[in-house]
Amino acid sequence: MKTVFLITGYVLVGVSALVILYFLVAFALARMRVPGEPVPEEQQEISIYILHNGVHTDLVVPLKSDVYDWLHYVNYRHTKGQDASARFVAFGWGDKGFYLDTPTWADLKASTAFKAMTGLGASAIHATFYRNMQENAACRRLGLSKEQYARLVRYIQRRFDLDTAGNTILIKTDAQYGQADAFYEAKGRYNLFFTCNTWANEGLKACGQTACVWTPFYKGIFYHYDKPLRQHAPGR
């Protein structure tokens, strides 16, 4: 019996140490800045946004632009509201179980959390349509050149799972968060080291924007955008 208690104690200490190490590494790497590509203001022809809800970061892009029309991949008609006046679409990538089966933290099941952390679950893309975007503490505007934006388009596209005809696959569900969102099948596996926020951070790197070395949390991304905006608040 004593041996069992000792082994249990060692396991608990080991797990606790790993959890602490995970958060320490996340804290350190999130504060290490990957600088963005310098682009003259006159070449920043496409506005995108990063948007968080207190947990999850979305990449928000124009629904239509000279570079790409996202109606080839997603459609407002897939939403409950079917609002044709939408001008922006926000993309989030994450664990399918979290998206569809966990409307609130109170609904979180141990099995869902275990699958998400270990990469055993499937993934989904959450698309939310907006008429307008407004900068605030949870939403930051970034100016991209057309070439940078084309890279971001390709980055987002690569996460969609496609059918044999090359079309995106709508997830038919009643688990939408509101009147303006829809879910699509996605590639990849969510896990402790590649989360929804890691995906968004990698997207910023892909299009030459300021990012952190690595982060599983939204605060890691916004750490690099909050301070400059406090010093140079936009005239809005």
CA 171/CA 194 separation, integer angstroms: 22
**Residues 146 and 45: beta-carbon distance below 8 Å:** yes
What kind and span of H or E run contains 198? Answer: helix 196-206
Per-residue model confidence (pLDDT) at position 231: 41
**Quick check: pTM over 0.85?**
yes
Per-residue model confidence (pLDDT) at position 232: 36
CB atoms within 10 A of CB 61: 25
Per-residue model confidence (pLDDT) at position 103: 59
- Which two three-digit tokens encode residue 191? 């896990």
**Residues 198 and 94: beta-carbon distance below 8 Å:** no
- Which two three-digit tokens encode residue 72? 């080839």
Per-residue model confidence (pLDDT) at position 150: 98
Tell me whether residue 70 is exposed, middle or buried, using C-beta atoms within 10 angstroms of its C-beta: 0 to 12, 13 to 18, 19 or more. Answer: buried
Per-residue model confidence (pLDDT) at position 5: 62
- Residue ranges of the domains in the chain? 31-231
| Average pLDDT, 10 consecutive residues per value, the chain (236 residues) | 65 78 96 95 96 95 98 97 97 93 68 76 96 96 98 98 97 93 97 96 98 97 75 34
